[in-house]
Amino acid sequence: MNAARLPSVAPEVTATLVEGLSPRLRKRLDVAVTKLAARPTHRDGDTTTIDVDDETELRLHAPGGVVAKVEDITCRCLLAPACVHRAAAACAAPAADLAPEPAEQATPEAPGPASATPPAAMLGPDAARSLGLDVAPASGPGTAPAPTTDTAANAALGLALQATPNPAPDLASPPETASPDQRAAADVLWAAGAAVLEAGVDGAGAVTQSALLRAAHTARLRNLPRAAGAALSVVTLLRAARAGDPSFRTADLVTALAELLGTAHRVGTASGAEMAAVRGRVRRPYSPDGSLRLYGLFTEPVVTDSGHGGVRTWVAGADGRLFTVGDVAPGGAGRALGVADRAVRLGDSALTHRELGRAGLAVSGATVSPDGRLGAGRAVKAVTARGVTWTEPPLAALWETPPAEQAARALRSTSRYADRDGTGSDLLFLHVELLGAVREPGGTCLLALCEGGVRVRLTVTDDDPALAHRDNLALLAAAPGARLRIIGRLIPATHPRLTLLACTHPTGEGTVDLGLDRLRRADLPDPSASAHFAPPQTAGPGGSSPLYLLERRVEQTVAAGRAALGLLGDVTAETRRIRRGGLPTAAALLTALSASAAQRERDLFGRLLPADTDGFAAYWLAAARYTAAVSESLCAAAWNPMDEDPAAVPPVPVHGAAG
């Protein structure tokens, strides 16, 4: 049984069913989920039936595609309704989104109160000293870091959250702060996240996930949608990891878990505009934007891991602002290719998405979301207008900003833990000269030279053979020396790296949507040329950074849990290497994290006391947030011109008119 074939189940339904099980059945729940996943299913309208055995059926009734009530899951076994089957079915099904995105314009919500802070953990001496705090000396060499003061603990979490700027306070009215209920909800979220760190992926089974789902539901009721969404993301990724999903990446779970813990912590300390950012929004609000004159840039196919497919067309306004018009629904890559030739759902325009990527629109009554999505409400009117080439205003101005400034802007947009304000874009607009292919451990990418002598690696957005990305990149690798304008999406890395989305045609006539349009060998300057491989490249500014030693421990904690990290042994050699690399704070965090993982107190009778899960979670959060901030700094540095004198490296000229 594929989980994607089951309807989504509301988080509170799953949590209620798991909480209703006896302790004996809870121990059997993970095994029951695995067994149920192997059973056949069939759907009839809103009802999905699972054959538990030859005589027993389990039914999930999902009007609207979501199981919203406990009574909507029924079982015909002798132990029902107190059987393990109902809870197992809920745990095997996808968790329903707490706040589905509206298709049309939504009314902005009134601001509500904020989140809460968990009990802060204690900092060890090394980490505290790295932050400039005075602490009592350890009792002896090799002693594990002892708890110090709440000030030190909050300083550790302050380090973890330092990459998120605090908005300026609103002096016109008393700043908004968290209510007692929100603080309590955030405490529960923190505890549920800390339990995941304690257990690791293998130990975070259905019961642990149920606690996260209950915490997410409570946070949603307390108007904390950002934290609730982070908790749901953690559950989804835990299930993918435990199911062996090939698309799962431990780094994604690290990001989701750090977002959950960090947001829960900030609830109790944030106020004013920062509180609004920490609280988040349930729905994406669309606001009126009057009349817009839009110019098409390109269209990209969108294929998600959840089986959805479609396209997103990018357009620019007369002032350079970027907007998108999308059409994504269940269907995968096949749907993406088909939708590209369907009419855009915007006003009275008859343009297809492919055509809009090269044409123009005049829109009146426009509504726009904070991240630039154009609304398609009934009041919106749109008619076809003339487009412009990439070399004509206003589009030409997008390529005039230096690459380093564009990368810094894109990093602000893609930062893993930044407060999302919807502004900015992760797209870069570059003049490049192709140098050839470069072999990498994960495959082959295309190397290009852009302004300032910066060498950037260009990779495919999606490796699906049904899309044109992979074949087009291979053909461009056979055209070294070609000068193009490109549009790419920033990939945060210690060297300049983009996914290639669109470019000017190698012949200089028109543009190419690299996921949809297929280049031919006859389009190359030398049709007989084969792929050219550029010489090996030297590492960028962060290529030899020892930061990965701390990142590795952060990921190992998520994969194996606190106890496994405590068994990994002495980290003195690693911390020494990190200090030699100029990262003393990273070394202090690694020391504190490892010592906290191994530290267990005993009572007067020598019995082990419960582990300090809150303290360990604080260390881990500080390490996760610190590594993310340093990685982003190294990424930004990699985009700076390689020559001290920018005038020494002439800009890459681009020949031909781009259309």
Instruction: Supply the pLDDT for residue 658.
Output: 35
Cis peptide before 81 (omega within 30 of 0): yes
Instruction: Supply the pLDDT for residue 421.
Output: 60
Instruction: Supply the pLDDT for residue 538.
Output: 58
132/168: higher pLDDT: 168
Most confident of 164-173, 383-392, 520-529, 541-550: 383-392
Angle at 248 between CA 243 and CA 252, to 5 degrees: 130
Instruction: Supply the pLDDT for residue 598.
Output: 87
Grade residue 363 by pLDDT with cuts at 50, 70 and 90: very high
CB 589 within 8 A of CB 163: no
Grade residue 620 by pLDDT with cuts at 50, 70 and 90: very high
Q: Which whole-number Å values give the CA distances from 361 to 296, 349, 352, 386, 397, in the listed order?
A: 8, 8, 12, 7, 19
How many C-alpha atoms does 108 have within 13 Å on its Cβ side? 12
Instruction: Supply the pLDDT for residue 133.
Output: 31
Lowest mean pLDDT among 144-158, 174-188, 621-635: 144-158
Residue pointed to by tokens 């505009």: 273
Lowest mean pLDDT among 56-70, 83-97, 532-546: 532-546
The predicted model gives 89-94 an average pLDDT of 94
- Give me the count of residues in the chain: 659
Lowest mean pLDDT among 130-134, 623-627, 646-650: 130-134
Res 213 pLDDT > 70: yes
Instruction: Supply the pLDDT for residue 164.
Output: 46
Grade residue 158 by pLDDT with cuts at 50, 70 and 90: low
Res 472 pLDDT > 90: yes
Cross-strand pairs, 428: 488
Residue 244 token pair? 């062996």
Cis peptide before 394 (omega within 30 of 0): yes
Res 65 pLDDT > 90: no
In tens, the pLDDT along 424-468 reads 689 999 999 999 999 888 788 999 999 889 999 999 999 889 999
Cross-strand pairs, 449: 433, 455
- Distance (Å, rounded) from C-alpha 292 to C-alpha 370? 16
Res 648 pLDDT > 90: no
553/120: higher pLDDT: 553
- Distance (Å, rounded) from C-alpha 538 to C-alpha 135? 43
Side chain identity, residue 37? A
Grade residue 105 by pLDDT with cuts at 50, 70 and 90: very low
The predicted model gives 332-359 an average pLDDT of 91
Lowest mean pLDDT among 272-286, 392-406, 428-442: 272-286
Grade residue 374 by pLDDT with cuts at 50, 70 and 90: very high
Q: Where are the beta strands (DSSP E) in 228-267?
A: none
CB 161 within 8 A of CB 262: yes
Grade residue 357 by pLDDT with cuts at 50, 70 and 90: very high
Lowest mean pLDDT among 301-305, 316-320, 456-460, 499-503: 301-305
| Sheet of strand 47-51: strand arrangement | 41-44, 47-51, 57-61, 73-75
Instruction: Supply the pLDDT for residue 641.
Output: 83
Instruction: Supply the pLDDT for residue 423.
Output: 59
Instruction: Supply the pLDDT for residue 141.
Output: 33
Res 11 pLDDT > 50: yes
- Distance (Å, rounded) from C-alpha 185 to C-alpha 216? 9
Side chain identity, residue 146? A
305/597: higher pLDDT: 597
The b-or-e profile of 8-37 (16+ CB within 10 A means b, else e) is bbbbbbbbbbbeebeeebbeebbebbebbb
- Among residues of the chain, what percentage have pLDDT more than 90? 59
403/165: higher pLDDT: 403
Q: What's the distance, CA 252 to chain centroid?
A: 7
Q: At what angle do helices 572-580 and 584-598 cross, to 10 degrees?
A: 170
Res 285 pLDDT > 70: yes
- Distance (Å, rounded) from C-alpha 561 to C-alpha 198? 5
Grade residue 2 by pLDDT with cuts at 50, 70 and 90: low
464 backbone φψ class: left, alpha, beta (φ>0; ψ -120 to 50)? beta
- Among residues of the chain, what percentage have pLDDT more than 70? 83
Instruction: Supply the pLDDT for residue 536.
Output: 65
Res 377 pLDDT > 90: no
Grade residue 107 by pLDDT with cuts at 50, 70 and 90: very low
Res 157 pLDDT > 60: no
What number of H helices and E strands is found in the chain? 19, 17
Four-point Cα dihedral 125, 127, 128, 129, nearest 10:
80
Residue pointed to by tokens 């490892």: 594
350/585: higher pLDDT: 585
**What is the sign of the dihedral through the CA atoms of 405, 407, 413 and 416?**
negative
Res 165 pLDDT > 50: no
Res 412 pLDDT > 70: yes
CB 70 within 8 A of CB 17: yes
Nearest of 91, 266, 116 to residue 625 by alpha carbon: 266
Grade residue 649 by pLDDT with cuts at 50, 70 and 90: very low
Helix (H) or strand (E) holding 313: strand 308-317
Instruction: Supply the pLDDT for residue 612.
Output: 85
- Distance (Å, rounded) from C-alpha 197 to C-alpha 320? 44
In tens, the pLDDT along 478-500 reads 999 999 999 999 999 889 999 99
Nearest of 533, 522, 529 to residue 435 by alpha carbon: 533
- Distance (Å, rounded) from C-alpha 526 to C-alpha 647? 32
Grade residue 237 by pLDDT with cuts at 50, 70 and 90: very high
